[in-house]
Structure 1
Amino acid sequence: MNAVNRRRFLTISAAAGVFGTGALLGHHATSQPLYRWEGVALGTSASITLAHPEAKRIVARARAEIARLEGVFSLYRADSALSRLNATGKLDQPPFELLECLSLCGTVNAATDGLFDPSVQPVWRLYADSYDLGRAPDAEALATAQALVGWGGVHADAARVSFARAGMALTLNGVAQGFIADRVAALLASEGLHNILVDTGEMRALGGHPRGGAWPISLDVDGQILPKALPLRDLALASSAPRGTTFDDARTQGHILNPATGAPSAQPWRLVSVTAPQAALADALSSAFCLMTREEIATALTAFPSARLVYLG
């Protein structure tokens, strides 16, 4: 089993201490006991935390939405919309959620000079398959896979999503977890709910902590918990680590690949964390920033005034 599979259920952002002492009682606070569901979404640890007398019913609605969206975005379900697109190179009448996500991908692709590119999936698959056999990809195979990468070859409209070249494929693992967090939060907000923390691998705070104040989120950098918590209220937080998940047992070949070269990130960053109003945007940006210098990150952020780089190190 390669390192990607062995580490699949680890949350890269590794948020901890969400019930810190910084949450003080205020006029919107509740004495209702906190309820926390823990499970899995898109192959990673997930949770929903709230304080509400109908918490179990609310979580059941959220879990149903997560399951529905996994049917759109999962790479590990053969019947998902994304898997069917990758298998045939086209998908007629694509789900609206897939189109919305691809639209965001195009925006972030343009703002990062192509470094955020979900069409890198053929190269990613080559790395995973090669290291499953205990070796690095050979140069010829890598060149063949690299020739299939290019966001310009992805065509999407309401009638069809299709690829320009046979063998192209997409991975939305750098954005879909955040997208699902946003959709779950939107569902709960439509029911008039608030003060809920949705974590599907990336975090989306709907309101603040039920005890008052913001949700205090602590970041884990290579096993070290940062002492200062990030306050999260009506905001999303996403984190990526270039070598948080690796293809090889030695943990040298990170899972975030440069679409221009086909190589794992050469940047020194251990963790990149971004906040934004939408978890999908924060997710995509944190993924792309793993491949970028500090100066390149600052330039890309000018296209997204509501997004903030909150940790880079």
Structure 2
Amino acid sequence: MNRRRFLSLTACALAMPARAATLSEWQGTGFGAALMLRLVGADPLHARRTFRRVEAEIEWIEAQFSLYRDSALTRLNRDGRLAWPSSDFHALLDLCARVHGATSGAFDPTVQPLWLAEARGGDLSVARDTIGWTRVKIAPEEVRLSHGQALTFNGIAQGWAADRIAALLRADGYGDALIDMGEIQALGNGPNRSGWTAAIASHAGKTLREVRLTNRALATSSPRGTLIGSGQSHILGPSGQPPLWSTISVSAPEAAVADALSTAFCLMDRSAMEAALTEFPGARIEIVA
């Protein structure tokens, strides 16, 4: 079990008190991982209808952002351009630009060629020459990459999915839910009315801290939690900088923000992290280890 799945499933397990309100649970797959959703006090028929809507939403998100199947993202990477991207695709690009700016470039989705070169033993110097978010051309009618570029949204898409599912649930009348799309989004106060409890663990599985979440998201990144190639961290510095920390956990009102910041913060010192947080009201660091 990889680092992300361990943390997510730990959060779900700890969210279950000994005597809880009635829970309706859905489990599925997406984004290359197992997914989970728990609804508090839901009517069973209403819950089943909601779960079908959740599955359709996940299918749409994967059709936009997945690297594991044919998607708008894989077509962009293959062709170097994507005509008339969806409003969701543009919205995620906008958030990527915000985080890129706030983190002075530490968050950069153009690291995908470097990731592939590390994983497959390719030419790292050639891959590094393609990196640069500001070289991506974004217009309403088209997204165009510079020669050799490719994007990855693996540091933000699962948080984005959690936010989208949260919006769906709120619109469907749910006020209490735990959403695990690889990153955690907690709605309401949970089954015991005191918040959802989530564990923050190291890449080795040691619990570092427990936090309570109410209408709040949590994302944790551990550079050594997933290794690629000959033992390289899966979190790659766009300027060649190595990770400075073993575990970073960020909470925020939006899971996509928490996801992206926890990824970038692995490459940043504390003062740079604090400066970035000022651009995202409500976001805070839960663990730096």
* Fold shared per TM-score above 0.5: yes
One-letter identity of the residue aligned with 1:129:
R
- 1:100 corresponds to 2:91: yes
Aligned to 2:253: 277
TM-score of the aligned structures, taking structure 1 as reference length:
0.85
Residue 117 (1) aligns with residue 111 (2): no
SS of residue paired to 2:90: helix
Q: Structure 1 residue 266 and structure 2 residue 243: aligned?
A: yes
Judging by fraction of residues, say which structure has more strand.
Answer: 2
Structure 1 partner of 2:57: 65
1:53 paired to 2:43:
yes
**Pairwise CA RMSD:** 2.2
Task: Output the CA distance in 2 between the equivalents of 1:144 and 1:289.
Answer: 26
Residue 173, structure 1, aligned to residue 173, structure 2: no
Deviations 1:215-238 (A, max 9, x none): 011122121123x42111111111
Q: Which residue of 2 aligns with 1:134?
A: none
Whole-angstrom distance in 1 between the partners of 2:236 and 2:116: 11
- Provide the secondary structure at the position in 1 that maps to 2:37: strand
**Normalization by structure 2: what TM-score?**
0.92
Q: How many residue pairs were aligned?
A: 285
* Alignment-mate amino acid for residue 108 of structure 2: D
Match of 1:133 in 2: none
The 5 A counterparts of 1:1-313 are 10-11=4-5, 13-16=7-10, 18=12, 20=14, 31=21, 33-51=22-40, 52-54=42-44, 55-78=47-70, 80-130=71-121, 137=122, 141-163=123-145, 165-221=146-202, 222-226=204-208, 228-248=209-229, 252-261=231-240, 265-267=242-244, 269-313=245-289
Distance 2:75 2:152 in 1: 12
Question: Partner of 1:197: helix, strand, or coil?
Answer: strand
Q: Which amino acid aligns with 1:195?
A: D
Q: Percent identity?
A: 40
| Distance (Å, rounded) in 1 between the aligned partners of 2:258 and 2:222 | 14
State how far apart, in whole Å, the 1-side matches of 2:135 and 2:2 are: 29
Q: Is the contact between residue 23 and residue 212 of structure 1 (CA under 8 Å) also seen in structure 2?
A: no
- Structure 1: state its 5+ residue gaps: 1-6, 131-136
SS state at 1:16 partner = helix
Query: 1 or 2, which has the higher helix percentage?
Result: 2
